[in-house]
Structure 1
Amino acid sequence: MLTLLKNARLYAPEPLGLCHLLIADRRIAAVVADGEPLPASGPGIEAIDLAGQRVIPGLVDPLVHFVGGGGEGGFGTRTAELALEEALASGVTTLVGALGTDALTRTPANLLGKARELAAGGLTTYCYTGSYQLPPVTLTGSVGSDIVFIPEFIGLGEVAISDHRGSQPTASELARLAAEARTAGMLAGKSGIVFIHTGDAPSHLEPLREAARSSAIPLAQFMPTHINRTPALFEDGLRFAREGGRIDFTTSTTPALLADGEVPAAEAVARALHARVEPSRITLSSDANASLPQFDEARRFVGLEPGRLSSLFAALGQCVHDHGIPLERAIGMASGHAAEALKLPHKGRLAPGCDADLLVLADTGWAIDQVWALGRRVYRHG
């Protein structure tokens, strides 16, 4: 199956101007600048003229709760699973699933089954083994064997630190688990990343620093998220990134979280860049279908709202239109940087040999006209 997307104003993510993309099955076979001979034409090739519409890489979301999350207010507050239709329209073509607070009524088997359901619908899906608590819940009996033997499992997460819902892990526990995930990742050709849920306790990211200081594990083996949830955590996150770590900002939010001081994700990106944080150390994730709970000062549950997968594309637009970040730079935060951290070199870029995951943007405003995943159009507006 060959498809030729003609006259695309291409951001790969670098701006390449008007180009033609040849898709062979699931991958990009060629990118040809306008005016150069087309690589193929004729019968058997579906040609689609995009008439100068902007084309960007499909988004890579490193934290999605495929099977729902939360339940901190009881069974009536469990959030729903991610629907395929919502995922296809979101612009996110690569999703990494995680368990969260609840690893009792939700399991790694649930997570893996949902990942394969979404993949059958056309998306690319991966998972983290484990959850907030330690010892980690696994499918095969250990973190290492999950990563080595199950193709979808690429790391460990979402392990909670500085949060009253976690297991209060010690630095030595974090270092040992990171070493296990890292070694398994090396054996399997995966990242072995340890994805970290960061709460609002005053310890912030210090447990990760202590784990790195007391071991041979680099800070970049950890990928802490929710760094924009409080002003103090945000400032600590900037220091963490300057020290060699990665930081991930959450795009889903609520009025209550913003009122409590959360830094909106696009603003967090702009402020981090202004503070001269290396851009490749910054990523965005949606925290989709997680519960976004609110607790009072006594840590009593007040209420929650679910995270939304569409918030990642919305935050990308806010980076560009509200904060003046060039589109080619902003794309990295929502796609390429996560792909690099997760060791997915075929994602987050539009170049020969990469997966044909791309978004065709609407002519006006900030909206998605088409979503292509693995060489197939899976969504078109209207």
Structure 2
Amino acid sequence: MFTLLKEASIYSPDFLGKKDILFCFDKIAAIKNSIDPSALDDVEVLDCSNKLIFPGFIDLHVHIAGGGGEGGFSTRTPSAKADEILKTGVTTVVGVLGADGVTRSVENLYAQAKQLEAGGLSTYMYTGSYQVPVVTLTGSIQKDIVFVDKIIGVGELCLEDHRAFQPTFDEIARIAAQTRNGALISGKAGLVHFHMGLGETGLEYLFRMMNETLIPVSHFLPTHVNRTGMLFEQACSYLQKGGYIDLTAGFIPSKEDPDCVASYDALKKLVDTGADIGRVTMSSDAYGSVPVFDGLGNVISSDTVTTKILFDELKVAIKEKGIPIETAISLVTKNAAGVLKIHKQKGSLETGKDADCVICDKDLNIETVFAKGIKYS
């Protein structure tokens, strides 16, 4: 019934100092300087005196039903498994379809979200895929958001990519309007989540949305914005004007891809320039394919990553780039919960919220994960 974590160094993500945390079933019951376990029946006590505790991580872009297929059926990637995700510290995921909205479907994505939920994760999802017009579960973007519990928005819509369905600005504006309306009725986030490719016009549509419509910028979340240096510079400008951006883990400059910006370098620049980090998130793009194309658009290689990459790169930001722990962790906790509008349950360690947390040693190695009060090691 009760779990008591004693004398932990707590990052909520703001640093709270050394405190005790009490879980009652799936909720945080109390956070105090000291909690006496003798007053509790049926309590498990964990000595966390040399541990750091963070809120459970939120990965808002995961191909939970698998991805890939741009190089034929042999390049399809498998679906995600709950135990594999949980051990990486991620306790909440948002499922997304990508380029393949044909052999995979919104129905398939929903079923996979329910399966992962049964395995201990908290799950949400976007309706649609790269495709425009958007293919939905109920036949309507608004109905999907209003009536389907897990659907919190639309995505990932593909822009500036040779795999895009070449949507016009007016089409994107109508999709955003439908999403906004569904969000108002349901009280959900109503995100329009954009996959950004290598095209030179980059975030042009999003700047136009900002200037030519009355739809609040909080409904738009472009991801992969550190794919190229040029796109990242646009993203910095978009952020400065009040927009929200999502960095992607896994973009490491190399001989084959020298122009991308690693997430930790992007975060370092944002911090150094005084950007509003509260509107920055970070996701893994896990279980999708990471294809490499030749000049003719043919796949020459394809790989995939897991959600482990998310905390791996945050640790680089903290240990090698000097980013404060609370700043780095906020991207996958408080900030993510805010943009997804699930901040009443997720994203910080506070009384009444879900008992999701990550317990690490002093070197930031994950030792134990709690998801809704259940322990996974």
Give RMSD over aligned pairs: 1.6
Secondary structure of the residue that 1:334 maps to in structure 2? Answer: coil
Which ranges in structure 1 are unaligned for 5 or more consecutive residues?
none
Q: Distance in 2 between matches of 1:361 and 1:334?
A: 16
- Name the residue aligned to 1:369: 367
1:84 to 82, 85, 96: 82
- AA aligned to 2:358 is L
Q: What is the CA distance between 1:85 and its match in structure 2?
A: 2.4
- Name the residue aligned to 1:54: 52
Asked whether the 8 Å contact 1:30–1:39 carries over to 2, the reply is no
TM-score by length of 2: 0.96
Secondary structure of the residue that 2:178 maps to in structure 1? Answer: helix
Q: Residue 198 in 1 paired to residue 196 in 2?
A: yes
- Name the residue aligned to 1:172: 170
- Name the residue aligned to 1:267: 265
Q: What is the CA distance between 1:48 and its match in structure 2?
A: 1.9
Q: Distance in 2 between matches of 1:229 and 1:254?
A: 9
Q: Distance in 1 between matches of 2:202 and 2:50?
A: 46
- Name the residue aligned to 2:33: 33
1:130 to 128, 131, 138: 128
Q: Distance in 2 between matches of 1:128 and 1:369?
A: 31
Asked whether the 8 Å contact 2:82–2:121 carries over to 1, the reply is no
Q: What is the CA distance between 1:219 and its match in structure 2?
A: 2.6
- Name the residue aligned to 1:357: 356
Q: What is the CA distance between 1:256 and its match in structure 2?
A: 5.5
Secondary structure of the residue that 1:259 maps to in structure 2? Answer: coil
Cα deviations by residue, 1:32-66 (Å, 9 ceiling, x for unpaired): 014xx548733322222222311011111110000
Asked whether the 8 Å contact 1:171–1:208 carries over to 2, the reply is no
Q: What is the CA distance between 1:282 and its match in structure 2?
A: 1.0
Q: What is the CA distance between 1:252 and its match in structure 2?
A: 2.6
Q: What is the CA distance between 1:102 and its match in structure 2?
A: 0.2
| Counterparts in 2 of 1:39 and 1:156: CA distance versus 1, 3 Å | farther
Q: What is the CA distance between 1:255 and its match in structure 2?
A: 6.7
- Name the residue aligned to 2:15: 15
Q: What is the CA distance between 1:259 and its match in structure 2?
A: 3.0
Q: What is the CA distance between 1:213 and its match in structure 2?
A: 2.4
Q: Percent identity?
A: 41
- AA aligned to 2:9 is R
Q: What is the CA distance between 1:370 and its match in structure 2?
A: 0.3
Asked whether the 8 Å contact 2:71–2:298 carries over to 1, the reply is no
Q: Distance in 2 between matches of 1:31 and 1:126?
A: 28
Q: What is the CA distance between 1:301 and its match in structure 2?
A: 2.0
Cα deviations by residue, 1:126-173 (Å, 9 ceiling, x for unpaired): 000011110111111111111111101011110011111111111111
Q: Distance in 2 between matches of 1:72 and 1:144?
A: 30
Asked whether the 8 Å contact 1:270–1:323 carries over to 2, the reply is yes
Cα deviations by residue, 1:261-285 (Å, 9 ceiling, x for unpaired): 2111111111122122211111100
Secondary structure of the residue that 1:348 maps to in structure 2? Answer: coil
Cα deviations by residue, 1:105-134 (Å, 9 ceiling, x for unpaired): 000111011101111011100000011110
Q: What is the CA distance between 1:257 and its match in structure 2?
A: 8.2
Secondary structure of the residue that 2:130 maps to in structure 1? Answer: coil
Larger mean CA deviation between 303-312 and 207-216 belongs to 207-216
Q: Distance in 2 between matches of 1:153 and 1:40?
A: 43
Asked whether the 8 Å contact 1:26–1:376 carries over to 2, the reply is yes
Larger mean CA deviation between 236-245 and 40-49 belongs to 40-49
Q: Distance in 2 between matches of 1:322 and 1:19?
A: 28
Q: Residue 290 in 1 paired to residue 288 in 2?
A: yes
Residues 1-382 of structure 1: pairs in structure 2 closer than 5 A? 1-34=1-34, 38=36, 41-253=39-251, 259-345=257-343, 346-363=345-362, 365-377=363-375, 379-380=376-377
Q: Distance in 2 between matches of 1:241 and 1:347?
A: 24
Q: Distance in 2 between matches of 1:154 and 1:52?
A: 38
Asked whether the 8 Å contact 1:257–1:294 carries over to 2, the reply is no
TM-score by length of 1: 0.95
- AA aligned to 2:7 is N
Q: Distance in 1 between matches of 2:264 and 2:355?
A: 27
Asked whether the 8 Å contact 2:9–2:51 carries over to 1, the reply is yes
Cα deviations by residue, 1:288-310 (Å, 9 ceiling, x for unpaired): 01111111233232211113210
Secondary structure of the residue that 1:119 maps to in structure 2? Answer: helix
Q: Distance in 1 between matches of 2:255 and 2:200?
A: 17
Q: Distance in 2 between matches of 1:117 and 1:252?
A: 26
Asked whether the 8 Å contact 2:37–2:45 carries over to 1, the reply is no
Q: Distance in 1 between matches of 2:23 and 2:306?
A: 30
Larger mean CA deviation between 164-173 and 63-72 belongs to 164-173
Q: Distance in 2 between matches of 1:16 and 1:272?
A: 24
Asked whether the 8 Å contact 2:113–2:123 carries over to 1, the reply is yes
Q: What is the CA distance between 1:9 and its match in structure 2?
A: 1.1
Secondary structure of the residue that 2:39 maps to in structure 1? Answer: coil
